[in-house]
Each structure stands twice: as C-alpha cells, then as structure tokens.
C-alpha cells in the first residue's frame, strides 16, 4: 500500500476505525458478560479510539525494530520486543508465538507426508505411518 | 499484570492452552466473532502507519499482533470494569477508563 492519495487515506482510516470499533464492541461485550457489568457507549468508543492510536505507536516501533535488524518484513521477534514492558504480557505473547511455531512445524510434517505419499507409495525400506494425534480443525 | 500481584495471565485474556494445529485454528477461528481482530484488519492497521511503503508484516506476526490487540482491549475493558466495581458502580463510564488509562499505556 503505497502512499494513498489524501482522500483515499481518509476513507481508509475511517473504515479501519469502524472495524476497530466493531471488534472492540465485541470484545467488551465478552468482558461485560464475564464481569457482569455494563459498558457505556462512550466507554466503548473511547477504548476503540485508544486502541486505534496505540496501533500507530505499535506500527512505528515494529517498523523500527525490523529496520534495525536490516529487514523489511516485520516478524514475530519484532512483536515480542513490543511486548517487553510487562512480564506477564511478554510471557503470554511468547507462549502464543511458540504455539504458532509448533503449529507451523506440524503443518510442514503433514505436507511432507502428503507429498511423499503422492510420489508413488513407499520408498524402499520406509513405511509411512501416519498417526494423527489431533484432528485437524482448520476450517 | 493489573491490580493483583503477579498473576501471570493478563486479566480478561483467554488462553486456548492447546498447542499444534489447534492453536492456529483457534487463533484464526476467533476472528471477527466475540473473538477479536482479524489478521487482515491488523495488517492494514499497521501498514497505514508505516513510513516506508516497502515494510510488510509476515503472517505469524499478523496473528501475534492480533492477539496483542485483543489483550490490549480486554485489559482496558477489564481494568475499567474493576475500577467501576471498586467504586460500586454497575456501569462503566469514561471516568473509569480515564483512571486506568495511564497504567494501561505504561504496561504496553
């Protein structure tokens, strides 16, 4: 997304703010049910605004972290750096990152098994035993 | 995090403990519903503010940032709710958000 024309950018910003507002509304509703409280509309709007602004800080930091590492693509390492200010946050994000990594590895394993099966059955001496320990639920 | 001493998981955040394919499925499945931010939205949000047009975000980082934003929102809401409860209010209003905002921003 190159530098959008002024008007385009305003439109994009509006759409993104609306998307954020909607998602914040959903998340707050969830919290409201769990905690048995109610959030005023202004509260939800305020949290949405705060979140939107925080994204700007996040984005700029992420870009700088990537650039510092001489990359042009932001990776999970950059995101983890972003979470450094609170121990529990960092722990949570690191845990999620590890889950993603193990999920990636399992997907690679499945692809390898599929492609070796597709290349005409068993290689000499090798038996492909496919054990699914978890159902793939990737709808 | 939050008011209580050293409780590791951020309040209000939900943990899908399962690892493996279930985790990615769980993270993506939560998009858009009571779940949280969609990775496409997160990507566009970040790219809106990048200074260099060439900067991109890889898929896993998008998912992780979506989680980050989910936690941010849930933390904000949960802390404001807790503040309201401390003040014996049933409805959370701007005042409660204002009170919890400084520490929230310091923690993120």
Average pLDDT, stretch A59-63?
98
Q: What is the mean pLDDT of chain A?
A: 87
Q: Give the count of beta carbons closer than 10 Å to the beta carbon of residue A124.
A: 4
Residue B56 to residue A91, Cβ atoms within 8 A? no
Q: 3-state DSSP: chain B helix, strand, coil percent, rounded to 5?
A: 55, 5, 35
C-alpha A104/C-alpha A93 separation (Å) is: 16
pLDDT of residue A132: 47
How many angstroms away from the CA of B101 is the closest CA of chain A?
9
pLDDT at A139 over 50: no
Smallest CA-to-CA distance from B56 within B47, B48, B65, B64 is with B47
Which residue shows structure tokens 């399992």? A106
Average pLDDT, stretch A86-115?
92
C-alpha B24/C-alpha B18 separation (Å) is: 10
pLDDT of residue A10: 95
pLDDT of residue B59: 96
User: Touching check for A90 and chain B: CB below 8 Å?
Assistant: no
Q: Are B58 and A73 in contact (CB under 8 A)?
A: yes
From the list A37, A47, A58, the residue facing B73 with the nearest CB is A47
Torsion of CA A136, A96, A129, A122, to 10 degrees: 90
User: Which of the residue ranges A35-39, A62-66, A117-121 would you say has the lowest mean pLDDT?
Assistant: A117-121
Return the sign of the alpha-carbon dihedral for residues B91, B96, B97, B98: positive
Q: Which of the listed ranges A74-88, B5-19, B25-39 does the model predict with the highest average pLDDT?
A: A74-88
Residue A139 to residue B29, Cβ atoms within 8 A? yes
Residue of B nearest to A100 (CA): B24
Which tokens in the block code for residue A117? 């099966």
From the list B18, B78, B94, the residue facing A43 with the nearest CB is B94
How many angstroms away from the CA of B11 is the closest CA of chain A?
10
From the list A2, A47, A73, the residue facing B97 with the nearest CB is A47
Residue A26 to residue B34, Cβ atoms within 8 A? yes
Please name the residues in contact with B56: beta carbons below 8 A apart, sequence gap of 6 or more: A72, A73, A74, B47
Complex ipTM over 0.85: no
């Amino acid at each position: 997304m190159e530098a959008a024309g002024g008007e385009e950018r305003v439109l994009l910003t509006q759409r993104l703010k609306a998307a954020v507002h909607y998602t914040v509304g959903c998340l707050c509703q969830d919290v409201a049910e769990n905690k048995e409280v109610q959030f005023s509309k202004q509260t939800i709007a305020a949290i949405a605004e705060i979140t939107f602004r925080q994204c700007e800080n996040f984005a700029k930091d992420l870009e700088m972290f990537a650039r510092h590492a001489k990359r042009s693509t932001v990776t999970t390492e950059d995101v983890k750096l972003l979470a450094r200010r609170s121990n529990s946050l960092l722990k949570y994000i690191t845990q999620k990152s590890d889950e993603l990594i193990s999920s990636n590895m399992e997907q690679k394993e499945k692809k390898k098994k599929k492609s070796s099966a597709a290349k005409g059955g068993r290689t000499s001496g090798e038996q492909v035993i496919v054990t699914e320990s978890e159902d793939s639920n990737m709808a | 995090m939050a008011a209580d001493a050293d409780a590791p998981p951020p309040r209000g955040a939900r943990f899908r403990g399962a690892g493996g394919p279930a985790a990615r499925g769980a993270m993506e499945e939560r998009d858009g519903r009571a779940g949280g931010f969609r990775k496409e939205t997160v990507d566009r949000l970040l790219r809106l503010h990048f200074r260099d047009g060439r900067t991109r975000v890889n898929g896993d980082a998008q998912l992780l940032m979506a989680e980050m934003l989910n936690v941010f929102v849930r933390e904000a809401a949960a802390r404001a709710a807790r503040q309201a409860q401390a003040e014996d209010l049933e409805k959370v209003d701007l005042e409660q958000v204002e009170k919890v905002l400084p520490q929230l921003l310091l923690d993120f």
